[in-house]
Amino acid sequence: MLRVVVCVSGGGTNLQAIIDRCADGTIRNAQIVRVISNKKDAFALERAKKAGIPGICISPKDYSSREEFNLAFQKGLDEAEPDLIVLAGFLVQVPRNVVAAYPGKIINIHPALIPSFCGKGFYGLRVHEAALARGVKVTGATVHFVDENMDSGPIIIQKAVDIPEGITAQDLQQKVMREAEWIILPKAIDLIAQGRVVLDEKTKTTHILPE
Ligand code: GRF
């Protein structure tokens, strides 16, 4: 059984998708053992509580230095003994000590088709505002492994979403979550739980083994 820790900052709709897919068997052989939020009031913690999953808040605000937060964050992870760490709407850059402690075991969902509209400053609604401003006709979401940079690790799954004429950024964000994020993040967890994601360290790419 893959032990999964999910890190959140906001509404937790991606967390909810993982909870629901574990419950209906779409995600096989995996269990969320802890939810960690950097925000005390994140509704994602309510979702965890409702699902009977232990949730804790580890906020940089509660520590006198970033280094102390980084160590506390890693302690919060280590205690749960995760096989996989899932960043689901988590708005804190993962500290180097955590990336080093969990090589190839941290994944993130980004609301665009990486390498488009990603990296520093591209999060939440801003991603969709940038896509609309550029006039792209297709966007989507990406699940990727996390390395020491932002949104730059090996890509695992992507799913494209058409952009209808005149859609607002808010409606596009919902469309991308509904049609892409809430589908590919659970799918990636299931593939990893089945041992079907092969990470090629040399080329920094992944291969998905057949069922
Ligand atoms: C979404 O835009 C998601 O793409 C991004 O964080 C935002 C909130 O996600 N990763 P959630 O509802 O908290 O899962």
Domain ranges of the chain: 2-208
Give the 3-state secondary structure of residue 6: strand
86, burial (CB in 10 Å: exposed 0-12, middle 13-18, buried 19+): buried
Q: How far does residue 36's CA lie from ligand 1's centre (Å)?
A: 15
- Asked whether the beta carbons of 176 and 161 are under 8 A apart, the reply is yes
- Helices and strands counted in the chain (H then E): 7, 9
- Backbone torsions φ then ψ of 13, nearest 5 degrees: -70, -30
Q: Is the CB of 142 under 6 A from ligand 1?
A: no
For 69-117, how does the pLDDT look when each residue is reduced to its tens digit (9 = 90+)? 999 999 999 999 999 999 999 999 999 999 999 999 999 999 999 999 9
Q: How far apart are CA 9 and CA 3, in angstroms?
A: 20
For 144-188, how does the pLDDT look when each residue is reduced to its tens digit (9 = 90+)? 999 999 999 999 999 999 999 999 999 999 999 999 999 999 999
Query: What is the per-residue pLDDT for 133?
Result: 98
Q: How far apart are CA 84 and CA 122, in angstroms?
A: 24
Query: What is the per-residue pLDDT for 147?
Result: 93
For 108-121, how does the pLDDT look when each residue is reduced to its tens digit (9 = 90+)? 999 999 999 999 99
Q: How far apart are CA 13 and CA 174, in angstroms?
A: 10
| Helix residue ranges, H only, the chain | 13-23, 43-50, 66-78, 96-101, 125-134, 169-176, 182-193
Q: Is the CB of 10 under 6 A from ligand 1?
A: yes
pTM: 0.97
Residue 161 β-bridge partners:
139
Strand pairing category for 84-87 and 55-57? unpaired
CATH 3.40.50.170 fits 2-208, yes or no: yes
Best of 6, 7, 14, 128 for a ligand 1 pocket test (most atoms within 8 Å of beta carbon): 14
What number is the average pLDDT over the span 45-56?
A: 98
Query: What is the per-residue pLDDT for 111?
Result: 98
Query: What is the per-residue pLDDT for 154?
Result: 98
Average pLDDT, the chain: 97
> Helix, strand, coil proportions of the chain in percent (round to 5)?
35, 25, 40
Largest CA distance in the chain: 48
For 17, half-sphere exposure in the C-beta direction (CA atoms, 13 angstrom radius) is: 23
Q: How far apart are CA 125 and CA 71, in angstroms?
A: 30
pLDDT over 70 percentage in the chain = 100
Q: Which atom of ligand 1 is nearest to the CA of 12?
A: 13
Query: What is the per-residue pLDDT for 15?
Result: 98
Q: Which atom of ligand 1 is nearest to the CA of 17?
A: 14
Active site positions, annotated: 110
Closest residue by CA, ligand 1 atom 13? 12
Best of 32, 37, 109 for a ligand 1 pocket test (most atoms within 8 Å of beta carbon): 109
